[in-house]
Amino acid sequence: MNHKLKTLFHSDEAFLNQQEGLKDVQQQKGNFEFDIQEVGISNVKLPIILKEQERLQTPLATIKLTTSLKSNERGTHMSRLIQNLELYLAKPLTLPLVKELVQQIARSLAQERVDLAIDFPWVFDTTSPVMQLTSTQHANLQLNISYDSPQTMELWVVMKIGVTTLCPCSKEISMYGAHNQRGFITMQAKVDETAISDNWKHDLKNIALSNASAPIYNVLKREDEKFVTEEAYQNPRFVEDLARLVAADLEEVHWIKHYKVTCENEESIHLHNAIAVIESNK
């Protein structure tokens, strides 16, 4: 089969001779044996526009956009993918816009399946617990959309956010102190796009922060540092506890149909991490 394919890729003379002007090799038809599930562009860097209440944000996003390709088609239209990305992402990024983009790609390339993933940092304000100082924090977001025409569309939103975690075992067995560290909570949620809250970024953020040993802040004065140190000590969390607490909250979000939560603690007493994963179809 491999040999036959190689020949096919080489023997496109007849096909090319029919064409005038610049030849279009991608347009070659034949029996290329394999449907391709995903073909397109990855690691695309484009600025996006987020119209947040607090401020306009235009972070550089990292994007992957692919379509399927039937076994009788040799190549896809890479430049149409990037052109549509440039066109659509010049408008403020919303879930309806992303949905429109993948439908447009499916039509324009006449393919049944389209996959799009957009990764970007999102910035939000925090207020320190005692001195009430405002500072800027960030989380990493991903919009992930899988379109399979005629009508299947799966939309996932993903947030990865940092928190403080403190070990219950270390606290319990030690005369004083307890090891604590940065933990990262990743929440992947398949959403009901007709029901999703406008406030979904803050909803997910609050679920993460409220279940950690303590939130993380950029600016802390000493009064605040005392507060978060003691708060963490009063709220020890195994990585397992944290995953379950976050799952319990995600269960109750009505616009989430399926979720996966991954908690990873950058253990201060080891060079490796502790990790826990819960996935639920609700």
- Give the residue with the Cβ less far from a second copy, 76 or 156: 76
Tell me whether residue 2 or residue 151 sits nearer to a second copy (CB atom): 2
Contact assessment for residue 40 and residue 13, using Cβ atoms and an 8 Å cutoff: no
80 or 257: CB nearest a second copy: 80
Nearer to a second copy, 1 or 194 (CB): 1
Kindly report the backbone phi and psi dihedral angles of residue 51, in degrees, each rounded to the nearest multiple of 5, phi listed first. -95, 85
CB of 63 to a second copy, least distance (A): 8
Shortest gap between Cβ of 191 and a second copy (angstroms)? Answer: 20
Which of 99, 98, 107, 117 minimizes the C-alpha distance to 49? Answer: 98
Nearest approach, Cβ of residue 193 and a second copy (Å) = 25
**CB of 5 within 8 A of CB of 33?**
yes
Closest contact distance (angstroms) between CB of 203 and a second copy is 14
Q: Rounded to an integer, what distance in angstroms lies between the CA atom of residue 52 and that of residue 251?
A: 26
- Find, among 70, 145, 58, 137, the residue nearest to 101 by Cα: 145
Distance CA 278, CA 107 (A): 37
Q: Report which residue type is found at 201.
A: K
The least CB distance from residue 192 to a second copy, in Å, is: 20
User: Nearest approach, Cβ of 198 to a second copy (angstroms)?
Assistant: 21
Residue ranges of the alpha helices (H) in 135-265?
A: 168-173, 200-211, 222-234, 239-251
| 135 vs 272: CA distance, rounded Å | 30
Residue 80 vs 99, nearer CB to a second copy: 80
Beta carbon nearer to a second copy, 76 or 144: 76
CA distances from 186 to 5, 63, 161, 268 (A): 42, 19, 7, 20
